Amino acid sequence: MTQPTLGVLALQGAFREHRQRLETLGATVKEVRLPADLHGLSGLIIPGGESTTMARLMTDYALLQPVRDFHTRGGAIWGTCAGAILLARDIQGAPPQFGVQDSLSLMDIQVRRNAFGRQVDSFTTPLKVTGLEQPFPAVFIRAPVIESVGEGVEVLAQHNGQVVLARQGRLMASSFHPELTPDPRLHELFLDLVNETVLETA
């Protein structure tokens, strides 16, 4: 099988760390800033950062619909932290100017922004993840919580009874930052998901 090419949305936030991790795992990685950058990709990571800023930049760069279309064509997408917020169909705790029309709204989850408190309340915790034998060291930074999930969504990890990792088909959302720890297992999981994906060839 040919090695897939992965994209990392590189408008703002922790995209370099994702890029490095994927490259360490042998993937070819492209930074995505414009719709044309999506061509030839099988998967896309939307990093953590500030979801309001990222949503505004995605609007300015006319990226929202092309990313939705990429998913429709069969592309896999993983949103981490702010990226998970951008994937969610329902965003709670957003300022009024940050409406649903400004996000990707692809995944059947409801998220609440900054649910674990402010920057000073950032923490790392060993997380039990479905499919991983040992706990994953999860870094939470002003993280959202996934408050509810739709029928087609599989919950992969919870912290104190709250959902922090979920999957729906070829979409994955994590509240935490797997790129900020040396542990590669969640990026490997995403690569598996990408490899399951069959892109429509136009």
Site for ligand GLN in 64-83 (CB under 6 A): 81-82
The token pair that represents 7 in the structure block: 């994209």
Catalytic residue among 179, 187, 188, 196: 179
Burial of residue 12, with CB atoms counted within 10 A of its CB: 0-12 exposed, 13-18 middle, 19 or more buried: middle
Question: Can you list the positions of beta strands (E) in 113-202?
Answer: 123-127, 136-140, 145-149, 154-159, 162-168, 171-174
**Residue of the chain from 7, 43, 49, 178 that contacts ligand GLN (CB under 6 A):** 49
The span from the CA of 201 to the CA of 51, in Å, is: 31
Which among 29-37, 47-55, 130-138, 162-170 is the span making contact with ligand GLN, rule CB under 6 A?
Answer: 47-55
Q: Does residue 51 touch ligand GLN according to CB under 6 A?
A: yes
The conformation of residue 141, written as its DSSP 8-state character, comes to S
Q: Which is nearer to ligand GLN, 28 or 114 (CB)?
A: 114
The span from the CA of 166 to the CA of 86, in Å, is: 14
Q: Which is nearer to ligand GLN, 91 or 194 (CB)?
A: 91
Q: Does residue 18 touch ligand GLN according to CB under 6 A?
A: no
CB 139 within 8 A of CB 181: yes
Number of amino acids touching ligand GLN (CB under 6 A): 11
Q: Does residue 173 touch ligand GLN according to CB under 6 A?
A: no
Q: Which is nearer to ligand GLN, 94 or 149 (CB)?
A: 94
At 17 the three-state DSSP class reads helix
Q: Among this protein's residues, is 81 annotated catalytic?
A: yes
Site for ligand GLN in 84-143 (CB under 6 A): 85, 113-114, 141-142
**Residue of the chain from 12, 30, 31, 50 that contacts ligand GLN (CB under 6 A):** 50
CB 46 within 8 A of CB 9: yes
Q: Which is nearer to ligand GLN, 4 or 123 (CB)?
A: 123
Hunting for tokens 């995209």 — which residue is that?
15
Short-list 124, 113, 118, CA closest to 82: 113
Burial of residue 97, with CB atoms counted within 10 A of its CB: 0-12 exposed, 13-18 middle, 19 or more buried: exposed
Which among 23-31, 44-52, 60-68, 130-138 is the span making contact with ligand GLN, rule CB under 6 A?
Answer: 44-52
Which residues bind to ligand GLN, rule: CB under 6 A? 48-51, 81-82, 85, 113-114, 141-142
Which residues form the catalytic set? 81, 177, 179
